[in-house]
A and B are shown apart, each in its own frame.
Chain A
Amino acid sequence: MSILLVTEQQDGKWHRMSFEALAAAQEAATGIDCPLVAAVVGSGVRPLATELANKRVSEVAVIDSPELAQYSPDGFASALSQAVEQVKPRLVLFPHTYQVRDLVPKLAASLGGCFVSDIVDMRFEGGEPIFVRQLFQGKLHADVSASGQPPHFVSVQSGAYRADGVAEGAAPAPIRSVPVSLDASAMRTQAEPPYQDAKDAVDLGSAQIIVSVGRGIQDPDNIPQAEALAKALGGELAASRPICDNGWLPLERQIGSSGQTVAPNLYLALGISGAIQHVVGMKGAKTIVAINKDAGAPIFEIADYGIVADLFDVVPKLIEALEDPN
């Protein structure tokens, strides 16, 4: 019984989370003490397989078909279901990407296996994996075990494992083709090529200081206060998803999995609870400051400096102190 890692690529370029999931898969292979098969899925992906074979894996599986050039849930679920039948893994690992969120619940359900989604950690008890998931928007962690018929499917949260922790192989691993037969006419959901709505007017990625607002800002009329603080610090204003959903700030100022990913020197989170979808977009910041009324807000778990207080008390004082010549 092996572990199967399914990597993700688009047009011959790796999804950056593929190697984070590979790091997790290498750890799992050691923990369970079994071979690791790493798979590349797509059309014309042989060069990627060669690259993957240099990593510490037992084997690289190539699932290559012209029908897999563009993602479709039916096509990919069918291809991976055939691959699982041939490789017969006990555990199938994925990076927790948008594509995986669309695909793997279907794949797992069609094979009758369970899908432990979005794990942040795992450990092993007598060769049995225990997965750690976040519950209640990150307020609690849960140790989860999978039961029922293998294989069990698992996806790894962005940033939970480090891509630079991937071990290189002593010698290139063998590459094998996993033949799949696919019927283009059976693919019901069809996707057109990706596009961006508007060229980002603000490049938050290059900002050194970011002041970011969340639900705690309460009202669009309070946004100028945060804007004034950003200006006083010489930084950019950003927001968590609910603020942009409400139309209080434009989408291009959104930080998180569906918005921009940033790593500024200073990230000042005002009234942001720290839900997973937001945190993945900013946890790389050098210094994180959180101001929130709720002492139990998950944002404090990753903050360097925390102030448990009403942001409307503290923000004006911060602006005052910054403008104070003494």
Chain B
Amino acid sequence: MNIFVCVKQVMARDSVIRLDEGATWVRDDGLTFEMNEPDTYALEEALRLKERHGGEVVVVTAGPARSASTLREALAKGADRGIHIEDDRFVEADTHATASALAAAIGREQHDLILTGLQSDDSGFGQTGVILAEKLGLPHATIIMEIDASGSQLRCKRELEAGWFQTVTLPQPALLTIQSGINKVRYATLMGIKRARKKPLQRYATDDLGIEITAQQGVRRLYQPQQAKQTVFLEGGSREVADELLNKLRFEARVI
């Protein structure tokens, strides 16, 4: 089973965000970056499917030079090889541009299954996987909680709203977007990190793939959201704020 996993490098959770000069994106300097959390579950699922069914796990990203470290992390966890479509413009690119690049790179290879996280923690479009499937002419299913690849068709548990699920079946090759929490992700071992250095990492420029980065939607301005409510902030020592909060809840809000 040839499994491709698409991952994205995003700024670390709890990063302090500063806007760039044009206020259309955030400043990169001084930030630390990590693999988009939903993608870590997609990678883990791919590694488990390979352990069960054999084959190869290829990890793919479209991102700036720094995203190579995220590919190395995936290789250290057990992916066999990496593909890096490298361009700084992917940082602010829309989901259509990213999906087109991924389709160009994966389309030239034999693929049985493509996995992505269900959305990114930065732009949060939640579309790249589905657009990629459409561009490659593959069937897809989203927000997947379980994959059974033992039969001729994939059988998957798909999450619906408010605690409901459904089983979906689809032929291979196919694309699935993976819901966080589907598995427990592994950490890279020291041996894995060492091995990763020798694993192949193919680098493409957009020209190599014959693609252009054209956006269909653009951020005009980024800004702090307006307060939906007038939050009353309580300050002081811990016991002090505890007492004050209980007073407010009893006599102002009257909810306890």
Contacts and interface: CB of A to CB of B under 8 A. Distances in A.
Interface of A: 73-74, 97-98, 101-102, 105-106, 108-110, 113-118, 130, 133-148, 188-197, 200, 208-209, 233-234, 241-242, 244-247, 251-252, 257-261, 265-266, 276, 286-290, 294, 296, 298, 300-309, 313-314, 316-318, 320-322
7 contacts: A144-B219, A147-B215, A188-B139, A258-B159, A260-B163, A306-B232, A321-B243
Contact of A321 (B161, B233, B246): B246
A181 B115 CA distance: 31
A244 B145 CA distance: 13
Contacts of A144: 217-220
B246 A314 contact: no
Interface string B207-240: 0000000011111111111111101111100110
Contacts of B112: none
A194 B239 contact: no
A302 to B, nearest CB: 5
Contacts of A98: 142-143, 159-161
Interface in B161-213: 161-171, 174, 179-181, 184
Contacts of A140: 17, 19, 26, 222-225
Contacts of B134: 105-106, 109-110
B253 A314 contact: no
B126 interface: yes
B6 interface: no
B133 A102 contact: no
Interface string B129-165: 1110111000111110000000000000011111111
A316 B224 CA distance: 33
Contacts of A241: 180-181
B56 interface: no
Contacts of B121: 136-137
Contacts of A259: 162-163
B246 A318 contact: yes
B14 interface: yes
A314 B242 contact: yes
Given A105-B134, A140-B17, 16 more contacts: A102-B143, A105-B131, A109-B96, A109-B99, A118-B124, A135-B122, A138-B225, A140-B26, A143-B221, A147-B218, A192-B166, A260-B162, A276-B124, A286-B253, A288-B229, A302-B228
A316 B237 CA distance: 13
A117 B127 contact: yes
B165 A304 contact: no
Contacts of B26: 136, 140
B163 A266 contact: no
B231 A73 contact: no
B126 A101 contact: yes
Contact of A309 (B17, B229, B238): B238
B164 to A, nearest CB: 5
Contact of B219 (A73, A143, A321): A143
Contacts of A290: 231
A135 B163 contact: no
Contacts of B256: 209, 233-234, 266
B110 interface: no
A141 B224 contact: yes
A304 B11 CA distance: 29
B69 interface: no
B209 to A, nearest CB: 18
Nearest to B180: A245
B65 interface: no
Nearest to B130: A105
Contacts of A133: 124
Contacts of A194: 160, 164-166
